[in-house]
Structure 1
């Protein structure tokens, strides 16, 4: 474990454009395994376990998106990354937006996957609090079994508010959404940001990078190819 307390994987040529992949809640950096082979050929790829996830330290402080964004900046400083493309899925997208709010000059572009623009509802906050209690009471394995059933859409089994300060004049932005997920919030966020892109991944739900990795990777590479470095 490094001095930051974060478990990370840094791959590819350090002279190439860096892209940082940020996972969702109750997951870890291995969720990006299908993207790494196609990315590391042309880019510097960084994945890491968010604090309290995977092999990263848990700590005693209350988790906030500011803390997660601070961790991300510390990791960029530690690896001497002046700028990077940030790609976040679900909770990861909230970390990306918080990072943009705190240090926009460090962010080359943003990829917001299966994201929502509005603040968490009371139902979502209640679910997160109950999730923590469920893990404490019944263990992570039981919670994970239930979570998998919720976040993967039926295709997988059948076949095998933070946006107000975003200005695409200075940052390229793409929204990627699984077709089985409600599209209204992502579409609304896209409509408010001039020159942003919006892509729908067919046969995918909340975990579009895993459920239809070919289509996800295609859109990812196409977007990254437009970024000057």
Structure 2
């Protein structure tokens, strides 16, 4: 796996692997890094060219001066695509990565053949959600980023998974030690400030994937399901018994879903090209 890095105010480190004519960009969520996609990378790399960034403030990607936003992170992804001469891609984002994906879809729609929201939503934060994020910011300031990750990460999984796969939960907590308080607060602030992007789903002309956990407490399954009706073409999978971390909780289901979605997108692209 090749690692590269883009400079600038906010830097972006990213990994490249796989082979094939179709490019897929996998964007991690809050409190994660590119490693969260390891099982999906293993599954997809024989058929697709994969680009897996660490968002600014994660891994070797530094936060610079100025506000971090979904739009600024989407712009960094666009810079990566330009550097790698990627004209179009399928973009999949988990949680906060889905918010970045939606910002990208609004700013650069012509560069997407499809996109997917993995445990994510186009809705803006409710006032209740904003208040909860502000409480989290206060906790981080008072106790530290590491202590916050330790208390928060287990809540992203179903109780069954936390009990049966404690080693994987602990591994994610350990990986969370890389984050500074500055980075986590910047992410929370960006999430609080992001707008409702339901109109992006309504207006898009490309297929959209929704992967939903029935026990997800971070993204309402009911809200996610309601959004599946907005795009002209969408594919939705609601998985029982999992919460917010399908990459680990439902590896096989997510892999197969992404594979099916990408195959469908390629088939639709072929039909459109043939008939125009």
TM-score w.r.t. the length of structure 1 is 0.92
Asked if 2 retains the 8 angstrom alpha-carbon contact of 1:93 and 1:113, the reply is yes
**Structure whose residues are more often helix by fraction:** 2
Asked if 2 retains the 8 angstrom alpha-carbon contact of 1:27 and 1:54, the reply is no
Q: Point out the more displaced range, 116-125 or 30-39.
A: 116-125
- The yes-or-no answer on 1:178 pairing with 2:213 is yes
Q: State the alpha-carbon separation in 2 of the partners of residues 91 and 169 from structure 1.
A: 20
Asked if 1 retains the 8 angstrom alpha-carbon contact of 2:102 and 2:122, the reply is no
- The match for 2:251 among 213, 218, 226 is 213
The aligned runs of 1:131-146 (5 Å cut-off) are: 131-146=136-151
Residue 163 (structure 1) aligns with: 198
- The match for 2:239 among 201, 205, 228 is 201
Which deviations, in whole Å up to 9, do the C-alpha atoms of 1:166-186 show, x marking residues without a partner?
357720111000121232111
Question: Unaligned 5+ residue runs, structure 1?
Answer: none
Deviation at 1:62, TM superposition (A): 1.1
Deviation at 1:127, TM superposition (A): 3.3
Residues 8 and 175 (structure 1), Cα distance of their counterparts in 2 relative to 1, 3 Å cut: same
- Bigger Cα Rg: 2
- The yes-or-no answer on 1:53 pairing with 2:91 is no
Asked if 2 retains the 8 angstrom alpha-carbon contact of 1:117 and 1:185, the reply is no
Q: State the alpha-carbon separation in 2 of the partners of residues 50 and 169 from structure 1.
A: 24
Task: Output the aligned Cα RMSD.
Answer: 1.8
Asked if 2 retains the 8 angstrom alpha-carbon contact of 1:168 and 1:195, the reply is no
Q: State the alpha-carbon separation in 2 of the partners of residues 204 and 18 from structure 1.
A: 28
- The match for 1:11 among 17, 20, 43 is 17
Asked if 1 retains the 8 angstrom alpha-carbon contact of 2:37 and 2:247, the reply is yes
Q: State the alpha-carbon separation in 2 of the partners of residues 57 and 96 from structure 1.
A: 20
Q: State the alpha-carbon separation in 2 of the partners of residues 216 and 61 from structure 1.
A: 36
Which deviations, in whole Å up to 9, do the C-alpha atoms of 1:13-41 show, x marking residues without a partner?
2x521110111112111111111111111
- The yes-or-no answer on 1:83 pairing with 2:121 is no
Q: State the alpha-carbon separation in 1 of the partners of residues 6 and 100 from structure 2.
A: 21
Q: Secondary structure at the match of 2:39?
A: coil
Asked if 1 retains the 8 angstrom alpha-carbon contact of 2:93 and 2:101, the reply is yes
Residues 227 and 168 (structure 1), Cα distance of their counterparts in 2 relative to 1, 3 Å cut: farther
Residues 158 and 83 (structure 1), Cα distance of their counterparts in 2 relative to 1, 3 Å cut: same
Q: Point out the more displaced range, 210-219 or 113-122.
A: 113-122
Asked if 1 retains the 8 angstrom alpha-carbon contact of 2:27 and 2:34, the reply is yes
Residue 110 (structure 2) aligns with: 105
TM-score w.r.t. the length of structure 2 is 0.77
Deviation at 1:108, TM superposition (A): 1.0
Which deviations, in whole Å up to 9, do the C-alpha atoms of 1:73-106 show, x marking residues without a partner?
1111111111110000111111111111101000
Deviation at 1:197, TM superposition (A): 1.3
